[in-house]
Amino acid sequence: MEQDTIVAIATPPGEGGLGVVRMSGPEAIAFASRLFRPVRPGPLRSYRLRYGHVVDPTSGLVIDEALLAVMRAPQSFTREDVVEFSCHGGPLPVQQTLQACLDAGARLARPGEFTLRAFLNGRIDLSQAEATLDVIRAQTDAGLALAQAQLGGWLAREVRAVRAVLLELLAYVTVIVDFPEDEVEPQDIGPRLRTSLQTVTSLLEGAPQGLVYRHGARVAIVGQPNVGKSSLLNALLRSDRAIVTPVPGTTRDTLEETANLNGIPVVLIDTAGIHASNDLVERLGIERSRAALAQADLALLVFDASRPVEDEDLMIARLTADKPTLLVWNKLDQQHPAAPSLASIAAHLEHPRLAATVATSVATGEGLETLVQSLVQVLLGGHAPLAAGEARLVSNPRHHDALRRAYEYLAAALAGWDANDPTDLLGGDLLAALNALGEITGESVGDDLLDLIFSQFCIGK
């Protein structure tokens, strides 16, 4: 573990009410004592705010009026001595305070280094460290609840409980293989393997939902010109974000906005109407519409209920055939007298991945809530939305991959045990499962992976 003292600005750049400069390491308090002049003399006690001034240690000139917080090891975020200067939130006071700390002997922290030290010093495990970043990046209440629950350690406790069982079984198997002449009390491995496999299976079952709540989804709104795509975007956003006119082809480019749909951050993409056109600018917009559709996780295929279904509608439907699609029968308040039923249209499409059909009217609001519920249900794979107080879902792709591999090794170990395979083969599967689970909590990760994980953090966290 590095023993140098690190420093960084812990608040976002720009102007604000406060700017915080954080310092951690064995010399943090000594460096702060050189830079800070309290109004009332006295020792710097832990968990006490002191009012005073940050001064340039060379010139003695005042840099800023500030508050100083001291948190002595091990009762701090990093389990090292930590000090925080709360300055005025302008760029110059904060930058000059940072520079004074560097001049005193501190080193500029790398991205995520404060949290890395908290992990390396045993205050948090790796899953909790990653949850710290998830808390910062959460876009919805549900995403924040998932991150806070993981930061609280529920996943670490589940994983460690399974690892503890597997360690005991591995030790037993190792003794049998390496010392066959010794008398070892027999253990019933099968039931314990099954219980461990059930726990990992349960964690995996909720992962697809957790991943959606954490990462969200991209939804392309596609259809012919003037079917109401932009109006639908505005209705889902509850904001007049897109320009809407009766003139076909008003939208010439893609427009992306994020909506919170029952806790899922959904990027809604309004697209130019797809149809045959000789207009160069419009054709460029149509190409972007096709590209946006190709990159989307789900398509909202919008048909206009005020006119008969046309060949170009069917052509656009074929473009969505490779992804989950919701058919939106829009402008219900203007429905054409000869319009077929929505069910017959859906049947005629023969769409291989048509997930739902919804009739809507942006003008009256009819069907919009049903559309949102249908979208959420498709994105969650048919599972019920996250209920209040339920925040225990695996939401990190790295954790999901590690659990998937642990499941495969445990399943192989159980199958081998039931088939009376050689005991040394069982030991190999147990060790592989242990290592896979250890990747979640940090017991079996290398420096390269740690560098990759913590490089995603901001400097100062």
Per-residue pLDDT, averaged over 92-117, amounts to: 95
Any known ligand binding at 231? yes
Amino acid residing at 396 = N
Q: Residue 5, annotated ligand binder?
A: no
CA distance 336 to 307: 5
Q: Please give the average per-residue pLDDT across 113-133, as a whole number.
A: 94
Six-digit token string for 26: 């064995």
Question: What pLDDT sits at residue 216?
Answer: 92
pLDDT digits (tens, 9 = 90+) for 213-230: 999 999 999 999 888 888
State yes or no: 57 annotated in a binding site. Answer: no
Q: What is the pLDDT of residue 255?
A: 86
Looking at residue 277, its pLDDT comes to 65
84 labelled as ligand-binding? yes
Amino acid identity, residue 272?
A
CA distances from 278 to 113, 275, 281, 284, 316 (A): 56, 10, 9, 11, 18
Q: Rounded to an integer, what distance in angstroms lies between the CA atom of residue 56 and that of residue 60?
A: 5
User: Looking at residue 241, what is its pLDDT?
Assistant: 59
For the cut 90, the answer to whether the pLDDT of residue 284 exceeds it is no
> Is 331 annotated in some ligand binding site?
no
270 is known to lie in a ligand binding site? yes
**In which band, very low, low, confident or very high, does the pLDDT at 341 lie, cut at 50, 70 and 90?**
confident
Query: 8-22, 190-204, 232-246, 291-305: lowest mean pLDDT where?
Result: 232-246
pTM over 0.75: yes
| Tens-digit pLDDT profile for residues 342-383 | 888 888 888 999 999 999 998 899 999 999 999 999 999 888
How many Cβ atoms are within 10 Å of 32's Cβ, its own excluded? 26
376 is in an annotated binding site: no
Q: Say whether 245 counts as a known binding-site residue.
A: yes
Position 248 pLDDT exceeds 60? no
Distance CA 395, CA 210 (A): 4
Tell me: is residue 398 an annotated ligand-binding position. no
Is 11 annotated in some ligand binding site? no
pLDDT at 187: 65
Confidence category of residue 188, pLDDT binned at 50, 70, 90: confident
Provide the pLDDT for residue 421: 74
DSSP reduced 3-state for 281: helix
What pLDDT shows up at residue 156? 96
195 is in an annotated binding site: no
Round to whole Å and give the CA distance between 282 and 274.
9
Six-digit token pair at 257? 């906005």
In this predicted structure, what is the pLDDT of residue 273? 78
Contact 18, 86 (CB under 8 A): yes
- Binding site annotation covers 48? no
From residue 85, alpha-carbon distances to 18, 47, 51, 111, 456 in Å are 10, 13, 10, 19, 25
Question: How confident is residue 171, by pLDDT bands cut at 50, 70 and 90?
Answer: confident
Determine contact, residues 52/36, Cβ cutoff 8 Å.
yes
Cα→Cα distances 257→9, 230, 241, 262, 265, Å = 31, 12, 8, 16, 10
How crowded is residue 444: how many other Cβ atoms within 10 Å of its Cβ? 17
Residue 55 has pLDDT above 90, yes or no: yes
> Given this model, what pLDDT does residue 88 score?
94
Q: Does the annotation flag 117 for ligand binding?
A: no
12 is in an annotated binding site: no
Q: Is 250 annotated as a binding residue?
A: yes
Is residue 446 scored above 60 in pLDDT?
Answer: yes
First to last CA, the chain: 18
CA distance 347 to 354: 10
Distance CA 228, CA 331 (A): 7
* 247 labeled binding residue: yes
pLDDT (average), residues 120-140: 94
Annotated ligand binding at 228? The verdict is: yes
Q: Residue 363 contacts by C-beta under 8 Å, 6 or more apart in sequence?
A: 331, 333
